[in-house]
Structure 1
Amino acid sequence: MKVTLINTADAGGGAPAASMRLLKALVQNGVDVTMAVQQKLTAEQRVTATTGKRAAKAHFLLERLPFIAFEERDKTVRFAFSPANSGSNIAHHPAIQEADILHLHWTNSGYLSIKNLQQLLQLGKPVVWTLHDMWAFTGGCHYSNGCDHFMNQCGNCWMLRRPGQNDLSHKVWQRKFDGLKDAQNLHVVSCSKWLGNVSRSSGLLGTKPTVAIPNPIDIDIFSPKDKAIVRKRWGIDTDARIILFGAANINDRRKGITYLVEALHLLKQQIREASVQMVIFGKNKHFDTSILPFKVKELSIISAEADLAELYSAADVFVSPSLEDNLPNMIMESLACGTPVAAFNAGGIPDLIDHQQNGYLAEYKSAADLATGIKHLLFSEDKAGLSTSARKKVLDNFTNDIVAKQYINLYNSIL
């Protein structure tokens, strides 16, 4: 059995990280697997680039520029909507031709257009599509922000400059429908139970066989480290209680930074004199950390997994105020390092957090309850128990062996 994973990149975001982790998990379990990407960014030998740099840049611009010029409502949705009108035909690439199973992941940013996806489906090979967000069954948005138009045919999209019944979202939805309607060889995987349920309610993928299989994680890399040692290494206060927050893009609306700011100010009012320090990492162009009520150590983008594991281990609590998310890598990583997580009860997050056992599930969009959760985890009398439960959650559900075997069973069943 030869499997080819297909993802836009092999580094640089949540889907690339999840795809690369699956690649390694499958290799460890004896699967002959390759990953096809638009441009190769790592030294992994099993990753192959299918598109030249010039072509990749051209397709990215051909997708982005028309959207920005004619359809974008404002900058906040610039990369939250993908029309997938331009991409590369990779159907004849050796990595595709030699595969017994094609395994799609995240293919946007000019890698595969809707037509290119149809070309892969028309090869007649079994196709597994792991959903890392909602894009596969919407008219273009990656997360709908509460909109349910995808249940029918999309249209009147709030992200567009001129929403209407036959707007861009409806046209994209129709192109997807035309490309998927005869795809009898398509099998859908959702990383979370929530996204699987949403996909089943959609007009595009509702009839496709769908199962929930989580992302895997390397429990050797992401494991508890000596808190005092890693704090000293990173210049973090060894005597303070540490709140950690990170995101690929801190300013992304979905990541809920405004709710975190409010929650921290509420927390400050409640604890007054307690010594607390914030550690923040990720891309940050606009957020002013000086508005936070605690001392802040700000780090830039952290890409090395070993460094991430040390930061999680240095913290007393990781906070994820995300408003829409599938199965956040960062929450899983924190739990694997034995650090409990405070987050909103939203999306696929309840698949990871067991309330008051390995973290705290706050009422959706309630900054007050999020503050309660952070305080509960910071000052718990059973920190050792929370840490043990956090690690155990990962060991029982998300290891390379557990997840790889679920995928291998799926592959065998559809072959």
Structure 2
Amino acid sequence: MRVTLINKSDSTGGAAVVSMRLVNALRDAGIDARMLVTEKKTDSPHVALAAQPLMMRRAFLAERLAIFARLGFKRENLFKVDTCGDGVALWRHPWVRDADIICLNWVNQGVLSLRGIRRLAETGKKIVWTMHDMWCMTGVCHHAGTCDGFRSHCGNCPLMGSRKSPRDLSFRTWQRKDDLRRHTGIHYVAVSNWLAERAAASSLLADADMTVIPNAFPLDEKYTPRPDNTGKTVRLLIGAARLDDPIKGLPILIEASQLLAEQPGGQRRYRLITYGGLKNPAALDGIAIPHTHLGTIPPSRIREAYDNADIVVSTSLYETLPGTLVEGQAYGCVPVAFDRGGQADIIDHGKTGCIVPFADDIHAAAAGIADGIASAAANLMTEETRHTMFEAVRSKFAAPAVAARYTDLFSRILRQ
């Protein structure tokens, strides 16, 4: 079986990382898997550029310029809006022509146009589209947040600013996606049950063929006990590519730290470790417990960060499938997170972590996180819990398990 994945990059961004892991997992399972990208940074022989650099640059600029004009030449949301308005002619690429299955991933910003995806379908190739966010079910955004437009049809998009209208760019892109859906037999993969539920509630994908398969993670084959934290300090860890991205809910974390500090002995009991980029270094001001910021750390040092923590925290307002929680469990950190996203696919509340009800009110949300941390510290920082967490994530997220599920899906689609 020959499978060609298509993604913007082989290393930049979350979708790139997990797509590259999937290529390797499929190859380890005996599948001839390869990936086409418009940004190649690894030396993998199984990754190739989708086209000549000039062609890829032209497609990227053409799409961005069209969006820029529709935004009234304002840059604020330029890279929050995507349309698949332009792309390269991938249906002509030898790796596409030779493939049995085409697996689309994150294909915006000049990789493929919606017309190009339709051309791929017209070749007769079976197409699977792995969704890493909500873009396939919305007009132009990757996460709808509190907007419910995707449930009926898009238009009056908040991202369009002063240019929003009932028939704005979001509505027109929604129409083009609807036309694509009606004329192609794409099978969609959601990386979490939460994302599949959002798709089922959308006007675009409510009736789509869909399977839930999580992302693969590089996990140890066997559980290795780690020493108990014999000190009196509970070490909290939170990290992200960009820690002060509004989606990450940093203000909630800061207020939760203040609530922890107010507990009897809280200043001595808790210590916070953060990592990731910061657009505004002052965003961490207000943390009320002892705190260390590691900055941006390379993947080779991620394991070290988890080894020096007891609890991994996520205050994200929503997340498709938060990898820090999977990695945290695998490396012995108890996860604490909201119930808004793919967290429920990772955490078995009370057994492998704490899931906290999300609240729109920041004070209530922070109180929930603080309570979850206190509960995890009191009840779940045990060797038994760490072993249970490892076995749970390995059974669901280890590369062989994920590759087997994709192989079954591809085989089933090819028999249709």
TM-score (norm 1): 0.91
Aligned counterpart, 1:313: 307
Contact 1:196 1:210 in 2 (8 A): yes
Cα offset, 1:40, TM superposition: 1.0
**Distance in structure 2 (CA, Å) of the matches to 1:227 and 1:81:** 46
Task: Report the Cα distance in structure 2 between the residues aligned to 1:87 and 1:77, rounded to whole angstroms.
Answer: 20
Residue equivalent to 1:234? none
Task: Indicate the larger mover: 238-247 or 79-88.
Answer: 238-247
Q: Which amino acid aligns with 2:354?
A: Y
CA distance in 1, matches of 2:224, 2:73: 44
Cα deviation for residue 389 of structure 1 reads 2.3
Gaps spanning 5+ residues in structure 2: where? Answer: 360-364
> In the alignment, is residue 371 of structure 1 matched against residue 370 of structure 2?
yes
CA distance 1:60–1:378, shift in 2 (3 Å): farther
Give the superposition deviation at 1:167: 0.8
Per-residue CA deviation, residues 104-156 of structure 1 (Å, 9 max, x unaligned), is 11112222222222222222110011110000111011000122211222111
Give the equivalent residue in structure 2 for 1:175.
176
Matches of 1:65 and 1:194, distance apart in 2: 33
Q: Which residue of 1 aligns with 2:112?
A: 112
- Which residues of structure 1 form unaligned runs of 5+? 232-236
1:2-55 Cα shifts (integer Å, max 9, x gaps): 001111111122111111111111111111111111121112221111133344
% of aligned pairs identical?
Answer: 33
Partner SS state of residue 387, structure 1? helix
Aligned: 1:278 with 2:267: no
Contact 2:260-2:270 within 8 A present in 1 as well: no
> Which of 322, 332, 335 is residue 329 of structure 2 equivalent to?
335
**TM-aligned CA distance change 1:275 to 1:149, over 3 Å:** same
| Helix, strand or coil at the partner of 1:300 | coil
| Deviation, structure 1 residue 75 | 6.5
The alpha carbon displacement at 1:227 in A equals: 6.3
Task: Determine the C-alpha separation between the residues in 2 that align with 1:145 and 1:273.
Answer: 34
Q: Distance in 2 between matches of 1:222 and 1:7?
A: 32
In 2, distance between residues paired with 1:51 and 1:299?
Answer: 38
Partner of 1:413: 412
After superposition, what is the alpha-carbon deviation per residue over 1:206-234, rounded to whole angstroms, capped at 9, x for unaligned?
22211111111121299768569xx9xxx
- CA distance in 2 between counterparts of 1:57 and 1:391 reads 43
C-alpha deviations, 1:151-183, integer Å up to 9, x for none?
A: 222111122112221011001111112222111
| Aligned twin of 1:257 | 250
Separation in structure 2 between the aligned mates of residue 320 and residue 295 of structure 1, nearest angstrom:
18
One-letter code aligned to 1:374: I
Match of 2:320 among 285, 306, 326: 326
Which residue is 2:298 aligned to?
303
For 1:282 and 1:52, the matched residues in 2 are separated by 33
Measured against aligned partners, the alpha-carbon deviations of 1:380-405 in whole angstroms (never above 9, x if no partner) come to: 36422332222121122111121111
Letter aligned with residue 341 of structure 2:
G
Whether the 8 Å contact between 2:267 and 2:289 is mirrored in structure 1 is no
Measure the CA separation in 1 of the matches of 2:381 and 2:373.
14
Q: Is the 8 Å Cα contact of residues 60 and 86 (structure 1) preserved in structure 2?
A: yes
1:141 aligned onto 2:136: no
Indicate if the aligned counterparts of 1:80 and 1:143 stay in contact, CA closer than 8 A. Answer: no
Structure 2 residue 183 is matched with structure 1 residue 190: no
Within a 5 Å distance, the mapping from 1:217-228 to structure 2 comes to 217-220=217-220
Give 1:243 shift.
1.0
Is 1:388 aligned to residue 387 of structure 2? yes
TM-score, with structure 2 as normaliser:
0.91
> What corresponds to 1:201 in structure 2?
201
The answer to whether the 8 A contact 1:153-1:170 is kept is yes
Instruction: Work out whether residues 338 and 391 of structure 1, in 8 Å CA contact, stay in contact via their aligned partners in 2.
Output: yes
- In structure 1, distance between residues paired with 2:267 and 2:93: 62
Separation in structure 2 between the aligned mates of residue 223 and residue 87 of structure 1, nearest angstrom: 45
Q: For 1:381 and 1:118, how far apart are their aligned partners in 2?
A: 50
Aligned alpha-carbon RMSD (Å): 2.4
Partner of 2:5: 5
| Contact 2:38–2:56 under 8 Å retained in 1 | yes
State how 1:227-238 maps to structure 2 within 5 Å: none
Q: CA deviation at 1:77?
A: 4.0
On the 8 A contact 1:222/1:333 being kept in 2, the answer is: no
Q: CA deviation at 1:244?
A: 0.8
* 1:309–1:124 CA distance, 2 compared to 1 (3 A): same
CA–CA separation in structure 2 for the residues paired with 1:14 and 1:6: 14
Number of positions where the alignment pairs a residue of Structure 1 with one of Structure 2: 406
Query: Secondary structure, in 3 states, of the residue corresponding to 2:268?
Result: coil
Match of 2:362 in 1: none
Q: Is the 8 A contact 1:222 1:309 kept in 2?
A: no
Indicate the residue corresponding to 2:38 in structure 1.
Answer: 38
CA distance in 2, matches of 1:256, 1:76: 20
Contact 2:226 2:332 in 1 (8 A): no
In 2, Cα distance between equivalents of 1:12 and 1:222: 29
- Tell me which moved more, 242-251 or 77-86: 77-86
* AA aligned opposite 2:323: N
The whole-number CA distance in structure 1 between the counterparts of 2:337 and 2:75 is 26
- Is the 1:225–1:310 contact (alpha carbons within 8 Å) kept by the matching residues of 2? no
Do 1:250 and 1:287's aligned partners in 2 also have CA atoms closer than 8 Å?
Answer: no
The answer on whether the counterparts of 1:37 and 1:50 sit within 8 Å (CA) in structure 2 is yes
- Which position in structure 2 is the counterpart of 1:93? 93
Cα deviation for residue 372 of structure 1 reads 0.7
Task: Specify whether residues 333 and 381 from structure 1 end up closer, same or farther in structure 2 by C-alpha distance, changes over 3 A only.
Answer: closer
3-state SS of 1:302 partner = coil
What is the deviation of 1:60?
A: 2.9
1:152-171 residue pairs with structure 2 within 5 A? 152-161=152-161, 162-171=163-172
Q: Is residue 5–residue 104 contact of structure 2 (8 Å, CA) maintained in 1? A: yes
